[in-house]
Structure 1
Amino acid sequence: MSATLFGSQLYGKLVPTGEVARLFTDSAEIRAMLIVLGALAKAEGAAGIIPEISAKAIHRASLELQVDPGGLAEATGANGVPVPALVAAFRDLMQAPEHAQYIHWGATSQDIMDTGLMLRLRQVLSHYEAGLDRVLTRLADLAEAHAELPMAARTYGQQATPTSFGAVVASWGWPLLDLRAETAGLRDRLCVSLSGAAGTASMLGPDPEALRAELSEALGLVDPKRSWHTDRAPVTKIAGWVARLVTAMGKIGEDLTALAATEVAEVTLGEAGASSTMPQKQNPVAPSVLSMLAHHGAGLQTTLMQAARHRHQRDGATWFTEWMVLPQLCLTGAAAIETCAPLLDGLAPRPEAMARNMSGALAAEALSFALAREMPRPEAQNAMKALARESAETGTDLIALAAERHPRIAPVDFAPPRLLGTAPAEARDFARAVRMQA
């Protein structure tokens, strides 16, 4: 088995990551760091920190030159960071030592790596937003179309009272809608890092704050107005958001796995997985993947938060841990979106199965309140518990049994469509909220 499913030729289609995968390659990281080095030189040239002619040459070269990741591997292994080897390779490729000497002037490896990471995370967010919009549109359509389709609500795995399929879909969608609304705020955490060797910006010219602001504007990132070498909030904020995303989609997976069970069969999933030996099997593969990704994301998030405690002004072990975990977490979020969208496209309720699975027992709560109009509430509850036991033992419909013992009860008043409460409104409210946010 491959070390990671995401890059596996065998398992990769099980956890598709779309365009996000290419943002976590060696080539993508080097390209992002070259962009940062070029923009830094241009800003330093404009500020008179380095010769402007050299700044222009470095900036132009940063957009044109290609650096082989393999050529940096040995030095990266020795140094623990790729920037020294990248800068050396950049200087060699420029073939203009009089200009190349000013590459990476006054910055530190973490400035270049963290800022390059922010550039890539900005693209990740864009892909997430597009995927979430697709998921939310489909959920809104399902919620609206089935706002009044009755089905059994279940608590503790037991049938409780009637709800509607549309309301169930809305319960999946509301957390995702909240997450989508937060993406603009996440961009406010995508900030430049430019603080120098120990976070003091001592070699970044007479006005390092102005230089940082200029670099931020050039790269389209936020100026944090401080050093954040050891404050990993710009990273952990996004990581926490991704963890919540996969948790919300894992909820969809859990519910669909249960609703597609043979004994329940209240939904069809479109495409399902086959067994190697049992022809009748229609395995809920995509819902199971969503559940798995939620488990994986929770573990990654925990590890990342443990790695957010840097000792002193920079800590190798915690930073290395972030490199191990953050790309995996971002790919986990991408895989959840890429899995959820087509799953929802093929999802359909089975009204006949929903009706078949609902019994008069779903009206027990409503019946107890009806009896409370004739007797004290505690007595009404005890009477309904006794009728529920009798119904279960004899197989008699609970509504019919209650009407027989209490003639004032009209069975038609306790049919599932009469007991949906706010479920239809919640489904329609969700659909409306999605369309208003679009």
Structure 2
Amino acid sequence: MAKLQTLPAGMAGAGPSLIESLVGDAEVGALFSDEADLAALLTFEAALAEVQAAIGIIPTVAAEAIAGACREFKPDWSALRQGMVRDGVVGPALVAALRLAVGPQHGPCVHVGATSQDLVDTGLMLRLKTAAALLDARLAALLDDLVALRQAQGAVPLMAHTRMQAALPFTAADKIETWLRPLERHRRRLEEIGPRVFALQLGGPIGVGAAKGEQGAGLVDALATRLGLAPAAPWHTARDGIVELGSLLSLMTGALGKLGQDVALLAQSEVGAVRLAQGGGSSAMAHKSNPVGAEVLVALARFNAGLAGTLHQALVHENERSGAAWTLEWMTLPRMAITAGAALRHARALVSGISFKPLETDHPA
């Protein structure tokens, strides 16, 4: 059996892994890094304290100390990882460390009335809202690219295919319309779901509210406003918003996968209806120009479709909190957002290099 060769020290790649360079997205992925996660969690704790001080739940001086400690917080990543393994969520370890950083006088005012789920879910929403804005901007740019392609090459005659067989002549504009329309709908969907999905979580220990009565309602409204999220009743075990967003991410990558599949078929040597400005090479066949960008779109679409099914299983929560379903979300939703970002990036590059080749022969009928 051949021995696996190892690289000398210092020769490991410094950037993303080889597979991540193809199917990952650094900009979207950064929103799901440990550093971004921690920043969002500290944003929640500082805002919670400041709003609680404003409505008289904790002293103003305590809120100032908490906000200052959040700004200057130096994480012990090893301790946070150990806490994550021990508790299944980073909240307890982080809150303990933050109380220590605030000091004994005001430390007890940290995280008053909240629970780890409020902390983690709201931190996720802050990052997902930013990710959605980033994806929306890319989607808008891609739509502009497709409109420009239609204007420039829409009159080129092509052959339509049904069930993989030549059907009737149509134009490049007709083909591009089949790519445009679903993406336009998905962009509207992304805008529409915002108020439903990007919502504050403040359910307290058992998901019935961190504070009762008029003061509790005021706390939710004020904290949501401070964080730029929608005020909402606690949704500790009602994860339909999370799954709705994941489903939309899968719809988006599915539409891009259809675009990629069409381009790959049109670019076949035997069809030659599309010429790509840049293709991938072969180690054995120098004449080949592989439609890598189109193929990646298909793979990303199928990957997100599979993850969407897994994410739907996270809807099943037992009683007032589920560690299993919660963990399943963390494993799937960030990857789905990264996959959607990668698909939009590849789609823009692909569309920019498409040249339609006119149909040279009449339809045989």
1:340 to 325, 347, 359: 347
1:19 to 23, 27, 31: 27
Where does residue 143 of structure 2 map in the other structure? Answer: 136
> Quick check: 233-242 or 286-295, which moved more?
233-242
Give the aligned residue type for 2:287: Q
Q: 1:296-307 residue pairs with structure 2 within 5 A?
A: 296-307=303-314
Q: Secondary structure at the match of 1:101?
A: helix
Structure 1 residue 93: Cα displacement = 2.5
Give the aligned residue type for 2:277: G
1:308 paired with 2:291, answer: no
Where does residue 33 of structure 1 map in the other structure? Answer: 41
1:195 to 199, 203, 207: 203
1:89 paired with 2:92, answer: no
Larger radius of gyration: 1
1:325 to 296, 309, 332: 332
1:220 to 228, 253, 262: 228
Structure 1 residue 68: Cα displacement = 3.7
Cα deviation code 1:342-398 (max 9, x no counterpart): 1111111122xx22xx4332xx4xxxxxxxxxxxxxxxxxxxxxxxxxxxxxxxxxx
> Quick check: 11-20 or 238-247, which moved more?
11-20
1:276 paired with 2:254, answer: no
Aligned residues: 350
Structure 1 unmatched runs, 5+: 1-6, 365-438
Cα deviation code 1:137-193 (max 9, x no counterpart): 110011122232211000000111111011101110111111112222222120000
Q: 1:257-276 residue pairs with structure 2 within 5 A?
A: 257-276=264-283
Contact 1:49 1:205 in 2 (8 A): no
Q: Distance in 2 between matches of 1:98 and 1:227?
A: 30
Q: Secondary structure at the match of 2:158?
A: strand
Structure 2 unmatched runs, 5+: 1-14
Q: Distance in 1 between matches of 2:71 and 2:192?
A: 30
Give the aligned residue type for 1:64: E
1:147 to 139, 142, 154: 154
Contact 1:16 1:338 in 2 (8 A): no
Contact 1:196 1:204 in 2 (8 A): no
TM-score, with structure 1 as normaliser? 0.77
Q: 1:35-434 residue pairs with structure 2 within 5 A?
A: 35-94=43-102, 96-188=103-195, 189-201=197-209, 207-224=215-232, 226-351=233-358, 354-355=359-360, 358-361=361-364, 364=365
Q: Secondary structure at the match of 1:159?
A: strand
Structure 1 residue 12: Cα displacement = 2.2
Give the aligned residue type for 2:127: R
Contact 1:111 1:193 in 2 (8 A): yes
TM-score, with structure 2 as normaliser? 0.92
Contact 2:202 2:210 in 1 (8 A): no
Where does residue 9 of structure 1 map in the other structure? Answer: 17
**Structure 1 runs of 4+ with >3 Å offset:** 202-206
Structure 1 residue 8: Cα displacement = 4.6
> Quick check: 271-280 or 58-67, which moved more?
58-67
Superposition RMSD in Å? 1.5
Structure 1 residue 123: Cα displacement = 0.8
Give the aligned residue type for 2:92: P
Give the aligned residue type for 1:360: H
Give the aligned residue type for 2:338: L
Q: Secondary structure at the match of 2:203?
A: coil
Distance 1:51 1:102, change over 3 A: same
Give the aligned residue type for 1:221: L
Contact 1:108 1:197 in 2 (8 A): yes
Contact 1:172 1:248 in 2 (8 A): yes
